[in-house]
């Protein structure tokens, strides 16, 4: 398994094998802006699905780059992974529920 290089500007995604210690910056081949490195769990929406891409960007900006997030039941973490949201409304609820598991900058 590897990672996904994602350009939120051009709405494209590429698979990338694990290669720790190599390039730290990944310029987009279309616009030249830095691409975002996401977990292999990320599934890119269709390029023309603007709402889905807005949701992806919102999640990333709030510390959820599609890493493993553990479900919470009865106020406790479980061993099961939570599903990432598909809509902005779901994303807002997801961020509030799982804020303790967000990556801090």
- Could you tell me the strand order of the sheet in which 36-39 lies? 12-17, 2-7, 36-39
Q: Which residue is it, tokens 């960007």? A: 57
Overall average pLDDT of the 10-24 stretch: 73
Residue 88 has pLDDT above 60, yes or no: yes
Q: Are 12 and 28 in contact (CB under 8 A)?
A: yes
Q: Report pTM.
A: 0.86
Pick from 30, 25, 24: nearest CA to 7: 30
Average pLDDT score over the chain: 89
Strands 76-81 and 12-17: unpaired
């Amino acid at each position: 398994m590897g990672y996904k290089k994602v350009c939120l500007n051009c709405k494209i995604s590429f698979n990338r094998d694990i290669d720790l210690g190599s390039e730290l910056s990944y310029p987009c081949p279309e616009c030249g802006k830095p691409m975002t490195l996401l977990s292999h769990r990320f599934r890119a929406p269709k390029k023309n699905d603007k709402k889905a891409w807005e949701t992806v960007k919102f999640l990333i900006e709030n510390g959820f780059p599609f890493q493993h997030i553990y479900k919470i039941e009865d106020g406790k973490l479980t061993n099961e992974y939570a599903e990432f949201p598909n809509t902005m409304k779901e994303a807002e609820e997801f961020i509030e529920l799982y804020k303790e598991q967000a990556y801090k900058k």
